[in-house]
Amino acid sequence: MRRALALAAQGPAYGPNPRVGCVLLDPAGQPVAEGFHRGAGTPHAEAAALAAARSRGVDPRGTTAVVTLEPCAHHGRTGPCADALIDAGVAAVHVAVADPNPVATGGAAKLRAAGIEVTTGLLADEGEELLRQWLHAVRTGRPYVTLKLATSLDGRVAATDGTSRWITGPQARAHAHTIRAQVDAIGVGTGTALTDDPSLTARTIDGGLFEHQPLRVVVGRRAVPDGARLRGPGGALLHLPEHDLGAVLSQLAEREVRHLLVEGGPTLATALLAADAVDELHAYVAPVLLGAGATAVGDLGVTTIGDAARFTTHDVTRLGDDVLLVARRAQHARPTEATESVQPVQPGRPSRHPKEEI
Ligand code: AOF
Ligand code: ZN
């Protein structure tokens, strides 16, 4: 399963489909073929592993398939993997994570009904970690929201005269671009779109464009000017003249956006935090003190420490002179296989301002 997870991680982090890996073992437990999913419309990991076996002259009959996600049972962009495994005569299937996708689920039951031994939950935590954005989106019907903040040590994003270039250094900025290249969409509010005229493209260190460019989303009622950089080369532009964050997130989910990176400004960041809609924080913090000037986050309605918006540190990385803190909101209970459902998981912390306006 560790090998299957490593294979899965070779697939694209963005896109509507999950990253999945599959290893086929012979009856002696030796790997004979492997495969992973390369993105929507391409073969699923199981189909790729079966094809790899056959192309090497290996008959998959009697092998054990080790797959990071429960094999699908549906005819989607490709055929059902459960049927492909049954037809190939695979003897056993070991799965890390059950598939919560209502369209595709049911593969484990189908395999068992065909007399194949199926176990699930093998290295489930690692499987959940790899698929966290996709699983969150499929389980809740909302994209996984990562909020990026780039601030001084005292949480500011600009000096009082409005100057803001550059609080964080080149390594932090380059890192932020690699994250842009891994998400489905980047969001900003109209304030940032009008003030900063950002391009919101994912750029390499030499300024070129990464092959994958996320959808560029502008939230708010003011128009994006004709000459804006947002209309230049890069991902498609989607303007949502909308103040209801729930509606914004569901419209993005309908477009199969699984992972949304929000880059500002303070108004949108504050609204998302106040609505408890931020799943992960990427805080790039520079050892710079401004003492005055705009802060990254405004009033969250918190008047007492017990109500603070608290996150759990996942990772800390030094980037030149700056530090990147990756923190996540408290994990919600994970549905068990038996109770797996597509009902939205209720947030653990009740939203303070459910109808928060931007
Ligand atoms: C993948 N790759 O390796 C596996 C998937 O639209 P389709 O037909 O490609 O089906 C996508 C669904 O199939 C996906 O949401 C997931 O539930 C299931 N399994 N998908 O893209 C894979 N094993
Ligand atoms: Zn499949």
- pLDDT tens across 207-231, in order? 999 999 999 999 999 999 999 999 9
> Which tens digits make up the pLDDT trace of 245-299?
999 999 999 999 999 999 989 999 999 999 999 999 999 999 999 999 999 999 9
Indicate if ligand 1 lies below 6 Å from the C-beta of 20: yes
Element holding 6 (H helix, E strand): helix 2-8
pLDDT band at 136, cuts 50/70/90?
Answer: very high
Structural contact between residues 127 and 69, judged by C-beta atoms closer than 8 angstroms: yes
Indicate if ligand 1 lies below 6 Å from the C-beta of 148: no
CA–centroid distance, residue 265 to ligand 2 (Å): 39
The mean of the pLDDT values for the chain is: 92
Return the DSSP state at 305.
G
Signed CA dihedral, 82, 87, 88, 89: sign only: positive
> Which tens digits make up the pLDDT trace of 38-94?
999 999 999 999 999 999 999 999 999 999 999 999 998 888 999 999 999 999 999
Q: How far apart are CA 56 and CA 48, in angstroms?
A: 12
Give the environment of ion ligand 2: residues with CB less than 5 A.
44, 72, 81
More confident call, 308 vs 353? 308
CA–centroid distance, residue 90 to ligand 2 (Å): 15
- pLDDT of 210 reads 96
- pLDDT of 109 reads 97
Q: Is the pTM of this model over 0.75?
A: yes
CA distances from 61 to 34, 86, 91 (A): 15, 9, 7
- pLDDT of 331 reads 60
CA–centroid distance, residue 345 to ligand 2 (Å): 25
> Which tens digits make up the pLDDT trace of 300-349?
999 999 999 999 999 999 999 999 999 999 764 444 433 333 333 333 34
Structural contact between residues 84 and 63, judged by C-beta atoms closer than 8 angstroms: no
- pLDDT of 53 reads 98
Determine the average pLDDT of the residues in 168-172: 96
CA distances from 245 to 175, 199, 240, 310, 356 (A): 27, 23, 10, 20, 7
Catalytic residues: 46
> Which tens digits make up the pLDDT trace of 239-250?
999 989 999 999
Indicate if ligand 1 lies below 6 Å from the C-beta of 104: yes
- pLDDT of 342 reads 36
CA–centroid distance, residue 232 to ligand 1 (Å): 33
Domains and CATH numbers, the chain: 2-130 (3.40.140.10), 142-328 (3.40.430.10)
Indicate if ligand 1 lies below 6 Å from the C-beta of 44: yes
Atom of ligand 1 nearest to the CA of 71: 23
Atom of ligand 1 nearest to the CA of 101: 17
